[in-house]
Amino acid sequence: MDAQVSFLDQLFNQRILHDSGVDGLYARSAVFEEVISQFEEFALAFGRHEISEAMVFPPGMPMADFETSGYMKSFPQLAGTVHAFCGSDHDHAGLLQCLAAGDDWTDQQKATEVALTPAACYPLYPILAKRGPMPETGAYVALQSYCFRHEPSKDPARMQMFRQREYVRVGTAEQTMAFRETWKQRGQEMMRILELPHEVDAANDPFFGRAGRMMGASQREQELKFELLVPVNSTASPTACMSFNYHMDNFGKAWNIRLADGSPAHTACVGFGLERLALALFRHHGFEVDAWPSGVRKALWG
Ligand code: AMP
Ligand code: ZN
């Protein structure tokens, strides 16, 4: 049995997560959720004084906005869309027959106007775009969303459904790059307070296919993405628990988000993988939260 399976099994045995039979899809215990909500409070304390507003999104986003994001071009392997039965009585009878016979009934499902949100900040951009040109101060939004990525795994830190808490900055190139630099520092300070071993490194997203490899290399070369890594499953390959992304004006152009002078807005976001951070805390401080180091308990529970 490898180390990844063993950490997942420990989490099941300790009833911190509950197995659903599908890799990457787990029920969360009360204690796991409490760690997440305390971490969210802790993370909000670092930026509460700067944000212009806060939002929480449902796990689905408009299909039209999902299409605009270009996600299917870059990450078709990770995407999930919501399909539903839209047929007649006759079609329903056929569907039930398929189900009873153990045949595939899903080809009768039709795409809806909802896609599963792949990244927490995507639903924000169309909302900002609809408001018209940005004020000089831009926007600084704290948000949270469930996300879906089709990457089933025995690594408990690689889930199919998980939450990201993000701060998103929309404005000029200077505003967004300064924001990202600030959060790179703050992210490391947060990890020091929570007594988690960590390092920050340049990274790239898992773009699909051969063209994708070139996109990944270019993203890395331009230092558009950094990750804060913490050993969760293995010390050999630590897990990205936070990411610090600068999208230049790509999203500003895609969604038509304009600055006061009419030029496309630049965007940057810092994402906290909430389940990953909770798992890192359990991994390093043990399964008994009452026995966590006093500094960590004080930071999370006050
Ligand atoms: P990304 O958009 O890939 O930079 O993801 C933002 C953050 O979400 C990452 O830094 C991770 O902490 C978290 N994350 C990404 N993918 C997963 C996953 N499959 N399971 C759990 N957390 C994830
Ligand atoms: Zn984001």
Residue where the block lists tokens 């499953």: 233
> Please, which residues bridge with residue 60 across strands?
116
Give the CATH number, domain containing residue 24. 3.30.930.10
Q: Are residues 169 and 257 in the same domain?
A: yes
Q: Please check whether residues 67 and 123 belong to one and the same domain.
A: yes
Cα 188 to Cα 199: distance, rounded to the nearest angstrom: 8
Residues 97 and 226 in one domain: no
Q: Looking at the CA of 158, which ligand is closest?
A: 1
Q: Is the same domain home to 125 and 243?
A: yes
Q: Based on the fold, state whether residues 76 and 87 are members of the same structural domain.
A: no
Q: Which bound ligand lies closest to the C-alpha atom of 225?
A: 1
pLDDT for the residue numbered 261: 95
Task: Write out the residue range of the structural domain in which residue 122 sits.
Answer: 3-80+118-301
158 and 99, same structural domain? Answer: no
Supply the residue whose CA is at minimum distance from atom 19 of ligand 1.
Answer: 158
Its pTM surpasses 0.75: yes
Residue 172 and residue 268 share a domain: yes
If asked whether residues 233 and 253 sit together in one domain, one would say yes
The residues pairing with 186 across neighbouring beta strands, listed in sequence order, are none
- 73 vs 125, 217, 276, CA distance in Å? 18, 16, 27
Position 119 scores a pLDDT of 98
Contact residues for 111 (Cβ-Cβ < 8 A; gap 6+): 63, 81, 82, 83
* Ligand 1 mutation pick, 164, 199, 270, max ligand atoms within 8 A of CB: 164
87 and 229 in a single domain? The answer is no
User: Do 26 and 40 lie in a common domain?
Assistant: yes
Q: Tokens 């989490």 sit at which residue?
A: 11
| Whole-number pLDDT of residue 3 | 52
Nearest protein Cα to ligand 1, atom 11: 273
Q: Work out which ligand 1 atom sits closest to the CA atom of 203.
A: 4
Same domain, residue pair 64 and 89: no
Please tell me the distance from the alpha carbon of residue 8 to that of residue 179, in angstroms, as a whole number: 35
Q: How many domains does the chain have?
A: 2
Residues with CB under 6 A from ligand 1: 119, 149, 151, 157-159, 162, 164, 227, 240-243, 271, 273, 275-276
* Residue 264 DSSP label: B
Residue 1: what pLDDT? 43
* Domain boundary pick from 69, 99, 115: 115
Domain check: are 30 and 98 in the same one? Answer: no
Residues 6+ apart with CB under 8 A from 200: 184, 187, 188, 226, 227, 228, 229, 244
Q: According to DSSP H, which parts of the chain are helical? A: 3-13, 30-45, 63-69, 71-74, 89-101, 124-130, 173-193, 209-221, 250-255, 274-285, 294-301
Q: Which ligand is nearest to the CA of 124?
A: 2
Say what the pLDDT of residue 235 is: 86
Q: Which pLDDT does position 4 carry in this prediction?
A: 53
Q: Going residue by residue through the chain (302 aa), what tens digit of pLDDT does each one get?
A: 455 558 999 999 999 999 999 999 999 999 999 999 999 999 999 999 999 999 999 999 999 999 999 999 999 999 999 999 999 999 999 999 999 999 999 988 999 999 999 999 999 999 999 999 999 999 999 999 999 999 999 999 999 999 999 999 999 999 999 999 999 999 999 999 999 999 999 999 999 999 999 999 999 999 999 999 999 988 899 999 999 999 999 999 999 999 999 999 999 999 999 999 999 999 999 999 999 999 999 999 99
